[in-house]
Amino acid sequence: MTVNQIMTELKSMGSDSIRTLLLKHGIKEPLFGVKVEHLKTIQKKVKKDYQLAKDLYATGNADAMYLAGLIADDEKMTVADLQTWVRQAVSQNISEYTVPWVAAGSPHGYELALQWIDSSDEHIAAAGWATLGNIVALRPDPTLDLAALKVLLARVVKTIAAVDDRVRMTMNGFIIAVGSYVTALSADAIAAAKKIGTVIVDMHGRACKVPDAVAYIDKAKSKGTLGKKKKMVKC
């Protein structure tokens, strides 16, 4: 499929009600308002396509950018590609899901995430923390730098109250990921969450809630899934 063919199909799948809902959830114009389930019908046809993913992302259309993440060949993504993607990820679903998913599956994700969390741009810093959370959910513990992750947990405790809302949200997600997927650091993550206490994020009137990190990690324990890695993070 070509970019033009896909954009025509996305336009036909768009819904005003979905578009309005997405706008309320931090998605930026332009977009058609396509349900993820419809995007996945295209994903099944395309599967992986490195160049097509980049071309779709470059349209700036939020629906196309999300689809680009689903069909991206993560291992082929270069540092330059990922830096371009994160700079352009002004919609929350792109900065906190699409880019982190692809970065986590690339060879460059960890190093870039450590750069991104230092950014003064909210969407870039949020993408960095979300990428780190995806990495610990995917990669086997022996491949992770546990000492560095402990330092990052301490950084979250020290700085979370002072950062922007979306960074705060993804920092909280990072704690949940470490506690749920890295067995050796589960107790450290719970301790960090307890030090932080209730995480407050302005949802701008939406019904969404900030996940309780301790409750989420305890749930993983009770289900017997603590430390069980994900096969994929894209959804």
Q: What is the CATH number of the domain that holds 164?
A: 1.25.10
Domain boundary among 72, 101, 129: 72
The CA–CA distances, whole Å, from 60 to 57, 85, 89, 230 equal 6, 10, 9, 29
Apex 196 CA angle, 135 and 114, nearest 5: 30
Q: Which two tokens stand for residue 45?
A: 């046809």
Query: Quick one: 216 and 116 in the same domain?
Result: yes
Phi/psi of residue 14, nearest 5 degrees: -65, 150
Query: Quick one: 60 and 85 in the same domain?
Result: no
Cut 0.85: pTM above it:
yes
**Closest of 59, 14, 8, 7 to residue 32, by C-alpha:** 14
CB of 99 closer than 8 Å to CB of 143: no
Query: Quick one: 180 and 93 in the same domain?
Result: yes
Domain count, the chain: 2
Alpha-helical runs (H) found in the chain: 3-13, 16-24, 36-46, 50-57, 62-71, 79-88, 92-93, 99-104, 109-116, 122-138, 146-159, 165-181, 186-196, 213-223
Domain boundary among 72, 93, 123: 72
Q: Which domain holds residue 36?
A: 1-72
Tens place of pLDDT for every residue, the chain, 235 residues?
A: 999 999 999 999 999 999 999 999 999 999 999 999 999 999 999 999 999 999 999 999 999 999 999 999 999 999 999 999 999 999 999 999 999 999 999 999 999 999 999 999 999 999 999 999 999 999 999 999 999 999 999 999 999 999 999 999 999 999 999 999 999 999 999 999 999 999 988 877 676 788 999 999 999 999 999 999 999 999 9
**Closest of 209, 234, 204, 173 to residue 25, by C-alpha:** 204
Query: Quick one: 68 and 87 in the same domain?
Result: no
Domain boundary among 72, 94, 119: 72
d(CA 93, CA 62): 8
CB of 82 closer than 8 Å to CB of 95: no
Q: What's 197's DSSP letter? A: -
pLDDT (tens digit per residue) in 204-229: 767 678 899 999 999 999 999 999 99
